[in-house]
Amino acid sequence: MEGKKRETFSSSLAVFFATLGSAIGLGNIWRFPYITGMNGGGGFLLIYFLCILFVGIPIMISEFYIGRKTRSNAVGAFRKLNHSNFKFIGLMGVLAAFLIMFFYSSVAGWVYSYVFKSIIGEFNNITVEKSKELFNLTISHPFYPILWQFVVLLVVAIILIFGVKKGIERVTKTLMPVLFLLILIIDIRALTLDGAREGVNFLINVDFSKITRDSILIALGLAFFKLSIGMGTMITYGSYFTRENNMPATAAKVAFSDTLVSLLAGLAIFPVVFTFNMEPAAGPGLLFITIPLVFTKLPLGTVLLTLFFILTSIAATTAMISMVEVPVAYFAEEKGMERKKAVLLTTAIIFVFGVFATLSLGGSPVISNFKLFGKNIFDLFDYVSSNILLPLGGLFIAIFVGYFVKKEDLYQELGNFGLINNQRIIDVFYLIVRYVTPILVIVIFLNSLGLLG
């Protein structure tokens, strides 16, 4: 596979849409609104922005550097940099991508099923009790959640089989503009509601009294989960970048756009929630229970609800494409597999283990009752990947770039070999990734393990 010409994205615009598609996912629409609600709104946003600035962007740039410098997958990249001892970082990334997909594909299946449900009118005249019952059935039925999980993985597999340009690039360049259009349509309608002012205030009012150590930890975890860093995704996508791409600028644009989508999702949800006196901190049920309940009370609400779940399914699909690509690239380049076989093997593994995660939510009494460290299989995959592997992956990547990569090499690669005059930006990046980012990640990681008291 080493001698075969490697695909790349066709342009900087393609790079932006693909990378943004990786960053934007259910974290923006599923996790962001309810976590923001549970942590006090604007105060949490402030902490989140700081996490993005001092952790998210530096690690993203680091991954871009490693990927484009080596034109290789997350594991092979360290071998090509003559640092084979660090290939464990890439292997951790492959493992993290798998673990996330085991449960993420299940949630994406719920979203796909809700698109279907909204189209056939299952939410018409829905009540609170019916909405809760429908969601419980969606996640705990012994067959249907698995069927929708299979459908999601089939869609992702078909896209990835077509490759980088005809698959990843073509789909993300089409779906990202559609996502923005759909979310703006829903925002415009939501901001005309009686509860719009209260919903907006909920997002932007800063309440420092609600900023706690736990909220800081959650903000960092969300930054990792949402930006697809720490698991080799951005190394893999970076390896497909064009030589002309301005990597620091791309990282900043993606982080800004990703945060913008999160805010737009909040603006789509919270005005509706407050208009109908619902609870903004309702947990994951905010998406699957509250949203169908309140949207259908609006004029043309069923249409808006369908559009909302379509945009959510787009976000889930583009994020999954990037995460599944990590092990696909590993199998194709390190194990010499044909791309089609690598895609089929990867998605098959995800489906098999993903079924256990899905059934652990009630579909099978035996699997549901199995606990490890007090967590069912679904929650265990989520916890290990989001709270352990992603922060550790980000930490090791920051340490590697900050201490084992020559600064002159960063000037060359990040400055596009003198074509971009961004030496001061690289100096600031180097300072942050060397001294600030590792400390922040270490402190919050130790806190997540309960070692800081």
CATH number, residue 224: 1.20.1740.10
**pLDDT of amino acid 158:** 97
**Which stretches of 214-276 are assigned E, i.e. beta strand?**
none
| CA–CA gap between residue 9 and residue 168 (Å, rounded) | 9
In contact, 77 and 66? CB cutoff 8 Å = yes
Least confident of 77-86, 224-233, 250-259, 387-396: 224-233
Residue 192 placed within a domain: yes
Residue 4 included in any domain: no
Residue 402 lies in a domain: yes
Span 242-301, pLDDT tens digits: 999 999 999 999 999 998 888 888 888 888 778 877 766 555 666 788 788 878 877 878
Q: Which residue has the higher pLDDT, 329 or 297?
A: 329
Instruction: Tell me what percent of the residues of the chain surpass a pLDDT of 70.
Output: 96
Of 246, 226, 262, 2, the closest CA to residue 100 belongs to 226
What does pLDDT average to over the chain?
A: 89
Report the C-alpha gap between 202 and 211 in whole angstroms. Answer: 15
Please name the residues in contact with 432: beta carbons below 8 A apart, sequence gap of 6 or more.
54, 58
- Would you say residue 1 lies in a domain? no
Higher pLDDT, 30 or 233: 233
**What confidence tens digit (pLDDT) does each residue in 181-223 have?**
998 988 888 888 888 888 888 777 777 777 787 787 778 777 7
C-alpha distances in Å from residue 236, one per residue of 4, 74, 319, 394: 17, 6, 13, 15
Query: What is the average per-residue pLDDT within 369-383?
Result: 91
In a domain, 373, yes or no: yes
Q: Is 112 exposed, middle or buried (0-12, 13-18, 19+ CB in 10 A)?
A: buried
Enclosing H/E stretch for 52: none
Average confidence (pLDDT) over 127-152: 92
Is residue 311 included in any domain, yes or no?
A: yes
* CA–CA dist 247, 251 (Å, integer): 6
Query: Lowest-confidence range among 149-163, 226-240, 338-352?
Result: 226-240
Indicate whether 198 belongs to any domain: yes
- pLDDT given for residue 104 in this prediction: 93
Which secondary-structure segment (H or E) carries 77? helix 76-80
Question: Looking at the whole model, is its pTM more than 0.95?
Answer: no
Question: Which pLDDT score is estimated for 1?
Answer: 41
Gyration radius of the chain over CA positions: 21
Task: Give the domain extent around 422.
Answer: 12-448
Q: How confident is the model at residue 34 (pLDDT cuts 50, 70, 90)?
A: low
Q: How many domains does the chain have?
A: 1
Q: pLDDT-derived band of residue 3, with 50, 70 and 90 as boundaries?
A: very low
Is pLDDT at 40 greater than 90 in this prediction?
Answer: no
User: Residue 233 in contact with residue 325, Cβ under 8 Å?
Assistant: yes
Domain-located, residue 291: yes
